[in-house]
């Protein structure tokens, strides 16, 4: 009885590490979005950028999901070129270093098409508590973690009667915001 059993020596450190890991994850997952990153604050700070993204989304030539014939695709080429020129003409709106990325997302069932306006060039391995919810339940503003960087993603559904949602997204640096 003078020696501690081996199973206790093994179980106790694993249990302590597990409790620390669960507490850390719970603290990160339950972190609140700060007031300066709430939807109303972001809409007030970036009205020009959001209006430009909404305009691009409403004029997107490739709306809707499904197969397109070769003739339909050929007819869309000129429209896509004009749309691409409009994107290039408005890129200066997203030069603020707080804005890490800007894109338009079109959901098609379980897949999505992304049309980048400002390419996100940060770490690819990002995660959020929002990932544990269905996409329809994601909040309009969510906190994301990319390594040591904390980000805010602002998603807004464009008013479109199509059953496939069309979203605009701003990816922002929380510390610089």
DSSP structural state of residue 174: T
In the chain, DSSP assigns E strands to: 99-108, 111-118, 126-127, 141-146, 149-157, 166-173
Kind plus residue range of the DSSP H or E element containing 144 = strand 141-146
Contact criterion met (CB below 8 Å) for 128 and 119 = no
CA distance 44 to 36: 10
If DSSP codes are grouped into helix, strand and coil, which group holds residue 128? Answer: coil
For each of the chain's 177 residues, which pLDDT tens digit applies?
578 888 888 888 899 998 888 776 666 565 677 888 888 888 999 999 999 999 988 888 877 676 777 787 787 888 888 888 998 999 999 998 999 989 988 877 777 778 888 888 877 767 666 666 666 666 778 777 777 788 888 888 886 566 667 888 898 988 877
Q: What is the pLDDT of residue 157?
A: 81
CA distance 170 to 130: 16
CA distance 60 to 84: 10
């Amino acid at each position: 009885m003078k020696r501690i059993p081996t199973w206790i020596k093994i179980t106790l450190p694993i249990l302590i590490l597990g409790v620390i890991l669960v507490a850390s994850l719970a603290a990160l997952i339950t972190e609140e979005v700060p007031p300066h990153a709430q939807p109303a604050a972001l809409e007030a700070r970036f009205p020009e950028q959001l209006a430009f993204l909404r305009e691009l989304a409403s004029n997107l030539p490739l709306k809707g999901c499904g197969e397109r014939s070769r003739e339909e695709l050929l007819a869309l080429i000129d429209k896509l070129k004009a749309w691409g020129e409009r994107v290039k003409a408005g890129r200066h709106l997203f030069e603020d270093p707080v804005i890490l990325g800007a894109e338009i997302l079109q959901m098609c069932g379980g897949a999505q098409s992304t049309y980048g306006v400002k390419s996100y060039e940060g770490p690819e391995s990002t995660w959020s508590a929002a990932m544990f919810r269905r996409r329809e339940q994601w909040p309009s503003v969510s906190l994301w973690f990319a390594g040591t960087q904390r980000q805010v993603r602002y998603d807004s559904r464009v008013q479109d009667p199509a059953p496939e949602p069309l979203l605009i997204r701003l990816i922002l640096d929380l510390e610089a915001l």
